[in-house]
Structure 1
Amino acid sequence: MNEPFILEATGLSKQFRGFYAVKDVNLSVRRNTIHALIGPNGAGKTTCFNLLTTFLTPTAGTILFNGRDISRSDPATVASKGLVRSFQISAVFGQMTVLENVRVALQRKAGMTWAFWRRDKSLKVLDTRALELIEMVGLTRYVDTPAVSLSYGRKRVLELATTIALDPEMILLDEPMAGLGHEDIGPVMQIIRDVAKGRTILMVEHNMKVIAELCDRVTVLQSGQILAEGTYDEVSRDPAVIEAYVGGAND
């Protein structure tokens, strides 16, 4: 693909019973960058994120992924095209081991989605890649541990591993630092940096220090509309952004 932008939203709007949660948003995410979507509480970030990942259908506007209109598509279809979302709340199979969780994601990528009934031996072909991903996110010592036994932070990085297993071109992260202890934030940031190599990431995040260190570009929403856009340094000095964040800059 030669287009500089991998994801483009034009005139994106979502109305709920006469109220616009998102209105006339124009957003372009440059390929192979980490782009943040931020804003004070009630700014419309979650709705915008749900629209971009096709969990909601827009009232108006278009969304292009790799130049193709996905505005009226569905999450499974866009995932197959290379746009995958990671949720704010960890979504892993609790009774499966770390290895089994990653292998399930690899089964889907390999077209073996309905292979749960197969003998374990027949799925061993996926183990090499699964173990590589598990090592990448620092979970090697937990490879045979049921996911339910992991700490919250480790469940989050396991979910990242399962997301990467789908080999997406673009990953959308919904508050990846939410609920993490201070000691987990640095390692998860490094994992995101590693994941971003050769990929595009769009993330909703409240931790401004994380955004300052990780993100190439930042879009600020307020009341469902874009308030500012630019580098972190640019938007953090914008008077309108400062006013919007009074009393909540460190949320």
Structure 2
Amino acid sequence: MNQVVLRTEGLTKTFAGFTAVNKLNLNVRRGSVHALIGPNGAGKTTVFNLLTNFLAPTRGKIFFNDRDITGMAPAEVARHGLVRSFQISAVFPGLSVLDNIRIALQRPSGLATQCWRSDRILGRLDERCSQLIESVGLANFRTATAGELPYGRKRALELATTLALEPEVLLLDEPMAGMGREDIQRIASLITSVAKGRTVVMVEHNLSVVADICERVTVLQRGEILAEGTYSEVSTNPQVREAYMGVDHE
């Protein structure tokens, strides 16, 4: 089996003459937790949008499991197993935790195109719902309204709805954004847990989290790869320290 599950060749995106991503050759190893880091404006979220075809590249190619997915519709990309989250929480605030996950499960279960299904039919999803709820630590919040969940729990629910699509590669855009220390520790543990058996690529500003859970790190600067390697390798790179970290990371 090919060690690289997701790769790009010369991936480039320009906006009205501004180059946000420039000739990016990214290789993500199968089964790894891979971080994209860099200063604001480095092109990290743009790369995510390109990988999932929410943006069309100006030039270059994207390969997933050696299949060229450049230009493929975002929904089709997701059906092939490349699924992403967003910086903002994307749950239905007026529905319960259970119902949010039920909705997410309707797509892979073939029920998503139905306008109405009985509780009996939707009840077939409950076993998998319960597994997902347990997996993200929301067993005590099963009937809680999503909009009333604490922020960290809401992000955990979002992770569960993403996992409902059975992704082979999971792209997480700043999963720790806006969280306190306790929530950060909880979500970091969840990511480590869900990474078993799949690949995770994450944009993250919290370098402690990157150091703790990411096996490989790509540092971006002005849309280009500045350095790659383990966290220890990139954190001691003089160019990275100058461009991104500025001071010693403790």
TM range (shorter): over 0.9
For 2:26, what is the secondary structure of its paired residue? strand
Tell me, yes or no, if the aligned pair for 2:28 and 2:34 is still in contact at 8 Å: yes
**Corresponding residue of 2:210:** 211
3-state secondary structure, aligned to 1:110: coil
Distance in 2 between residues matched to 1:163 and 1:33, nearest whole Å:
18
Cross-structure match for 1:188: 187
Call closer, same or farther: CA 1:249–1:153 in 2, change over 3 Å.
farther
The number of residues matched between the two structures is 249
Question: Which amino acid in the other structure matches residue 136 of structure 1?
Answer: S
Matches of 1:176 and 1:187, distance apart in 2: 11
Distance 1:60 1:248, change over 3 A: farther
Given that 1:96 and 1:147 are in contact with CA atoms closer than 8 Å, whether structure 2 keeps it comes out as yes
| Partners of 1:89 and 1:216 in 2: CA distance | 25
Contact 1:8 1:27 in 2 (8 A): yes
1:249, 1:70 → 2: CA distance?
Answer: 40
Q: What is the 5 A alignment of 1:1-251?
A: 2-247=1-246
Is the Cα contact below 8 Å between 2:4 and 2:27 reproduced in 1? yes
> Which one-letter code corresponds to 2:137 in the other structure?
G
C-alpha deviations, 1:147-183, integer Å up to 9, x for none?
1111111110000001111111010000000011111
Percent of residue pairs bearing the same amino acid type: 59
Q: SS at 2:70's partner residue?
A: coil
> 8 Å contact 2:219–2:240 — kept in the other structure?
yes
Q: 1:59 to 1:249 in 2, by over 3 A?
A: farther
Q: Distance in 2 between matches of 1:124 and 1:248?
A: 54
d(CA) in 1 for partners of 2:132 and 2:188? 16
Partners of 2:235 and 2:17 lie apart in 1 by 32
Task: Report the AA paired with residue 57 of structure 2.
Answer: P
CA shift, 1:75, in A, is: 1.1
TM-score (norm 2): 0.97
| Structure 2 segments unaligned to the other structure (5+ residues) | none
Provide runs of 4+ in structure 1 moved above 4 Å: 246-250
Q: Secondary structure at the match of 1:210?
A: helix
Question: CA 1:249/1:56 → structure 2, altered by over 3 Å: closer, same or farther?
Answer: farther
Indicate the RMSD between aligned Cα atoms, in angstroms: 1.2
Does the residue aligned with 1:245 lie in a helix, a strand or coil? helix
Alpha-carbon shift at residue 198 of structure 1 (Å) = 0.4
Q: Give the CA deviation at 1:121.
A: 2.1
TM-score, normalised with respect to structure 1? 0.96
Please say if residues 107 and 115 of structure 1, whose CA atoms lie closer than 8 Å, have aligned partners that are also in contact.
no
Q: Could you say if the C-alpha distance between residues 113 and 124 of structure 1 is closer, same or farther in structure 2, counting changes exceeding 3 Å? A: same
Q: Distance between the aligned counterparts of 2:109 and 2:58, measured in 1?
A: 35
